[in-house]
């Protein structure tokens, strides 16, 4: 890891902590969002760990670095192994690239239309 990467991650953590405190105190809507997050990621039919792994994949597809920092830490804290996190990342690879095949199918139809 490069020093810049470590600093970037620590800045994300610091910004999140500062912003969370501010919005939690000032915004009732943000408080409701925070409560929803707690309920969403609580153990249910799916464990917190599995929910965090899902969130990792979604975070990659959405290109949300702050989300990745949070959900990878939460997944590890919930017991996820490095191998499980890598598998979640692999699912994101497929889901990030896979939808392009839908556009490719349409591109083929357009190509055939103009033959």
Cβ-based burial of 72 (10 A; exposed 0-12, middle 13-18, buried ≥19): buried
The angle at the Cα of 69, spanning 21 to 15, to the nearest 5 degrees, equals 30
| Measured distance CA(49)–CA(46) in Å, rounded | 8
| Measured distance CA(54)–CA(91) in Å, rounded | 9
pTM (two decimals): 0.86
Is residue 3 pLDDT above 90, yes or no?
no
For the chain, list the domains and their CATH numbers: 3-113 (1.20.1290.10)
Rounded to a whole number of angstroms, the distance between the first and last alpha carbons of the chain is 51
Is residue 99 pLDDT above 90, yes or no?
no
Confidence of residue 85 (pLDDT cuts 50, 70, 90): very high
**pLDDT, position 1:** 80
Q: What is the pLDDT of residues 30-73, one digit of tens each?
A: 999 999 999 999 999 999 999 999 999 999 999 999 999 999 99
**pLDDT, position 2:** 86
């Amino acid at each position: 890891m490069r020093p810049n990467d470590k600093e970037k991650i620590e800045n994300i953590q610091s910004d999140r902590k500062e912003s969370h405190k501010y919005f939690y105190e000032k915004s009732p809507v943000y408080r409701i969002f925070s409560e929803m997050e707690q309920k969403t990621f609580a153990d249910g039919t799916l464990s917190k760990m599995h929910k965090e792994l899902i969130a990792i994949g979604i975070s990659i597809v959405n290109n949300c670095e702050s989300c990745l920092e949070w959900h990878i830490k939460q997944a590890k804290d919930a017991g996820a192994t490095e191998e499980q996190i890598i598998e979640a990342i692999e699912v994101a690879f497929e889901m990030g690239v896979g939808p392009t095949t839908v556009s490719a199918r349409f591109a083929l139809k357009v190509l055939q239309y103009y033959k």
